[in-house]
Amino acid sequence: MSAKEGLFSRLRKTRESLSSGLASIFSSSPKISEGVYEEIEDQLIMADLGVQTTQTILSELRKKAVQSRIESSDELLSVLKSVILDLLQYSEATEQSTDGKKPFVILMVGVNGVGKTTTMAKMANQYRNSGNRVLLAACDTFRAAAIEQLQSWGQRLDIPVIAQSHGADAAAVAFDAYSAAQARDMDYLLIDSAGRQHTHGDLMDQLQKLKRVLGRVDENAPHEVLLTVDAGNGQNVISQVENFNKAIPLTGLCVTKLDGTARGGVVISLADRFKLPIRYIGVGEGVDDLRPFIAEDFVDALLPELSES
Ligand SMILES: Nc1nc2c(ncn2[C@@H]2O[C@H](COP(=O)(O)OP(=O)(O)OP(=O)(O)O)[C@@H](O)[C@H]2O)c(=O)[nH]1
Ligand SMILES: [Mg+2]
């Protein structure tokens, strides 16, 4: 199975919801009418694109349809694809450049249970498999089982983990881990952190402290602050991005659990609203179920094929 076919099957739930809705609009109304636009609008909102992004897409779609004198629903679908592709292009993650920074430090942040630790382990595995030396830091010292969870990933993948005891100061663990990464000539240092709600002031302060402490040893560290969001949370992820970005400026996003949800349209909304690079998408629990975000493949996996319409 090619990577593209694999993506098709993993995004099945969102695809089924969005594609079948759109395909039935296009087949039942071969000529464009106001009703067709309204139905497209409803479908996009139901697929969790959010009101704002849906409006942006609809106004662009209308404009282009007039400019290109489009009359059939068939052609409208192809314009819809290109409008969505244009939005996604903002977030297509170009290869993340470590640019000679060593260790390249990546800090994982996000609310509870979204998949930070799992995504970090998957990333570590990819970096290591492409020939890098990788170190993990267990800076979720808040949740009781978090350290063991990361250590067991480390054992499984044969990647070293720096940890202290439960309740230790997360910034101190990060500092230790940075020194270890330097001493051991590591290419990457990946730092796990405790899940937190933006309303949890202490934990949000802790993140800022962690960044400050790292900044003392390397003014550019962390080089990447990745917010992981669970696609199944739908439009709630929008406020997660806004709130985390206020506390600690984000450099990119990871969107997980796209395999288990019909709400994958939220990716389009994230690209439109924030224009942050989407570094990875999570499409399963396995260590290999992490993909780069390729806008064209994503659109092809979610929207009906042109010949279907
Ligand atoms: N189906 C699916 N499950 C995922 C994906 N990513 C993570 N998970 C699962 O989500 C659950 C939570 O993942 P964790 O990595 O522990 O999440 P976390 O954000 O570190 O959680 P806390 O540290 O408790 O805040 C686990 O059961 C993972 O296997 C994904 O892309 N698809
Ligand atoms: Mg975790």
How many CB atoms within 10 Å of residue 182?
Answer: 15
Report the pLDDT value the prediction gives residue 307, as an integer from 0 to 100: 56
Give the pLDDT of residue 309.
38
Class of domain 3-92+300-308: mainly alpha
- For ligand 1, whether the C-beta of 285 sits within 6 Å is yes
Neighbours of 133 (CB within 10 A): 17
Q: Is 195 in the pocket of ligand 1 (CB under 6 A)?
A: yes
Q: What is the pTM of this model?
A: 0.96
Helix axis angle for 12-28 and 73-89, nearest 10°, is 150
Q: Report which secondary-structure segment, H or E, holds 101.
A: none
CB-based neighbours (< 5 A) of ligand 2, an ion = 116-117
Q: Where are the domains of the chain?
A: 3-92+300-308, 104-295
Cα–Cα distance for residue pair 247/6, rounded to 1 Å: 36
- The CA-atom distances, in angstroms, between 113 and each of 228, 229, 230, 233 are 10, 9, 8, 11
**Structure-token pair, residue 137:** 């830091």
- Look at residue 202 in the predicted model and tell me its pLDDT: 84
For residue 200 and ligand 1, the question of a CB distance below 6 A is answered with no
CA of 174 to the centre of ligand 2 (A): 15
Q: Residue 272: what pLDDT?
A: 97
How far is residue 273 from each of residues 51, 86, 230, 259, 268, measured CA to CA in Å? 11, 13, 17, 23, 9
Nearest CA to ligand 1 atom 26: 115
Nearest bound ligand to the CA of residue 254: 1
Peptide bond preceding 249 in cis form (omega within 30 of 0)? no
Q: What is the pLDDT of residue 308?
A: 43
Quote the pLDDT of residue 21: 87
pLDDT tens-digit readout, 238-280: 999 999 999 999 999 999 999 999 999 999 999 999 999 999 9
Ligand 1 centroid distance, CA of 305 (Å):
32
Q: What is the distance in A from the centroid of ligand 2 to the CA of 146?
A: 6
Between the CA of 118 and the centroid of ligand 2 the distance, in Å, is 7
**Residues of the chain whose pLDDT is less than 50?**
308-309
Residue 282 CB less than 6 A away from ligand 1: yes
Q: Is residue 103 within 6 Å of ligand 1 at its C-beta?
A: no
pLDDT value at residue 203: 85
Q: CA torsion angle for 8, 9, 14, 16 (degrees, to 10)?
A: 100
Q: Which ligand is nearest to the CA of 150?
A: 2
Phi, psi of 225 (to 5 degrees): -115, 110
Alpha-helical regions (H) of 249-294: 266-274
Helix (H) or strand (E) holding 95: none
- Within 13 Å, how many C-alpha atoms sit on residue 290's CB side? 23
Q: Which ligand neighbours the alpha carbon of 111 most closely?
A: 1
CATH fold of the domain at 104-295: Rossmann fold (3.40.50)
